[in-house]
Amino acid sequence: MQNHPHSVDCVIDARWVIPVEPRRTVLEHHSVAIKDGTIVDLMPSAAVSERYLPQRRIALAEHALIPGLVNLHTHAAMTLMRGLADDQALMDWLQRHIWPVETRLASPEFVHDGTLLACAEMLRGGVTCFNDMYFFPEAAAQAVLGAGMRAALGMIVIEFRSPYANDAADYLSKGLAMRDSYRDEPRLSFCIAPHAPFTVSDATFERVATYAGELDVPVHIHLHETADEIRDSLAAHNLRPIRRLQELGLLGPGLIAVHAVHLEADEIVLLAEHGCHVAHCPSSNLKLASGIAPVAQLHRHGVNVGLGTDGAASNNRLDIFTEMRLAALLAKGSSGDPTVLPAHAALEMATLNAARALGLDQRIGSLSKGKRADIVAVNLAAPELAPCYDPLSHLAYAAGREHVSHVWVDGELLVDNGAFTRIDARELTAKAAHWKEKIRSQD
């Protein structure tokens, strides 16, 4: 009995398919079949016509297909403050420039436009999902849905008053209401996002732990970013921040510790024992002179580490390709071991590891049957990438976001040969210019 080809929405043929799972796998001359936004098959391109009848077939003869990149930590709306105050210490940067501008100008309009600008930058760089922490997350949600991306939105919690909320209880109340409003949007998920140990009280942390447990959402927090943070915690609480969080019930498999630069050996073991995750932001840590996270030691102890950019105000790029390369090089240089964090591990940090930290690894993070079709095509035919002996090596060490040609989320093509299909780039740059003038007048 003859089997007839099954109808699918799209088949993408590529020179290489790099699914991330299984590890180190590189499939040459393979294709990905998509139906209803889901990956239904990976197969040799020569066998496609026997199995499938696609509505559309896209041939990318010199490209590598990879899972959509996941930015595990950013403040998307702060893209409007890119380059506003460079080359300064963290607290000077925050207190003298960032916080004053936010106090005067943060609004739903500011957050929507800044987040949409960030979405455009990330999409062109192959990022299909990001973990955000900022004020007015409802406005960020609208920007994300308009761009077609995927995002984990932070229910931000902080003690001090802002244009968004009056106190910690108000932040929590508004964040929970936001989650209730958008919980049925399939491209959105949520985290509780207490800003940092030095801006959140013990009583608020206890409420955060309770809500995180009841709602089964991750806790997204800056932690051990600077040496000053640790000194201040010892003075105020007689505890290092991680130990304080442990006493308050925050350590666990839902915790995403952002930065985790200044860790002692026993603290690395503590993170591992509790199943915590780390969002490693190498560019931001270097630019703010915070230090270099001990990624090699974290990996050695089995801590799941994903990659983040931090906000564009402190990076100044939302570029996960840069973070992949830098993370690999820093791990080698700081450990003295050139075998640490090989290319495939750097790609895992940018995809599956970050998805796992967000609790999304059953849906995204690898090109696997049954997962959502969040896919990025990287053109490896450019002269600056020739010759290509190993596409995995190229992705970590040679290629950049400028080589991303196509991006799909849920099977929807959002970047087509470098052009946006949803976002109006001209309108967006005009909005950025408008905000620049307002911010410059306030800074």
pLDDT for residue 2 is more than 70:
no
pLDDT for residue 120 is more than 90:
yes
φ, ψ of residue 423 to 5 degrees: the values are -85, 135
At 93 the pLDDT is 83
In a domain, 107, yes or no: yes
In a domain, 420, yes or no: no
pLDDT for residue 99 is more than 90:
no
At 1 the pLDDT is 40
Q: How confident is the model over 145-167, as a mean pLDDT?
A: 97
In a shared domain, residues 164 and 284: yes
At 97 the pLDDT is 87
In a shared domain, residues 296 and 336: yes
pLDDT for residue 4 is more than 80:
no
Q: In what order do the strands lie in the sheet with 6-17?
A: 38-44, 27-35, 6-17, 52-67, 375-379, 404-409, 412-416, 419-420
pLDDT one-digit tens code per residue, 14-30:
999 999 999 999 999 99
At 440 the pLDDT is 86
Crossing angle of the two packed helices 320-335 and 343-350, in degrees rounded to 10 = 130
Contact 285, 331 (CB under 8 A): no
Rounded Cα distance, 200 and 203, in Å:
8
pLDDT confidence of 94, banded at 50, 70, 90? confident
When divided into structural domains, the chain yields a total of: 2
In a shared domain, residues 287 and 392: no
In a shared domain, residues 154 and 251: yes
In a domain, 106, yes or no: yes
In a shared domain, residues 98 and 221: yes
pLDDT for residue 286 is more than 70:
yes
In a domain, 130, yes or no: yes
Q: Which tokens in the block code for residue 423?
A: 């976002």
Q: How confident is the model over 94-105, as a mean pLDDT?
A: 88
In a shared domain, residues 44 and 122: no
pLDDT confidence of 192, banded at 50, 70, 90? very high
Question: What is this structure's pTM?
Answer: 0.97
Sign of CA dihedral 401, 112, 374, 220: positive
In a shared domain, residues 59 and 96: no
Among 21, 23, 47, 22, smallest CA distance to 33 is for 47
pLDDT one-digit tens code per residue, 415-443:
999 999 999 999 999 999 999 999 988 65
φ, ψ of residue 2 to 5 degrees: the values are -80, 130
Q: How far is CA 48 from the centre of its chain?
A: 33
**Position 271: which residue type?**
L
At 443 the pLDDT is 58
In a shared domain, residues 143 and 255: yes
pLDDT for residue 211 is more than 90:
yes
pLDDT for residue 273 is more than 90:
yes
Q: How confident is the model over 156-173, as a mean pLDDT?
A: 97
Q: How confident is the model over 318-327, as a mean pLDDT?
A: 98
More confident residue, 362 or 84: 362
Domain that holds residue 256: 69-357
Mean pLDDT for all residues in the chain: 96
In a shared domain, residues 342 and 208: yes
Half-sphere exposure of 443 (CA within 13 A, CB side): 16
In a shared domain, residues 12 and 143: no
Q: How confident is the model over 357-379, as a mean pLDDT?
A: 98
In a domain, 369, yes or no: no
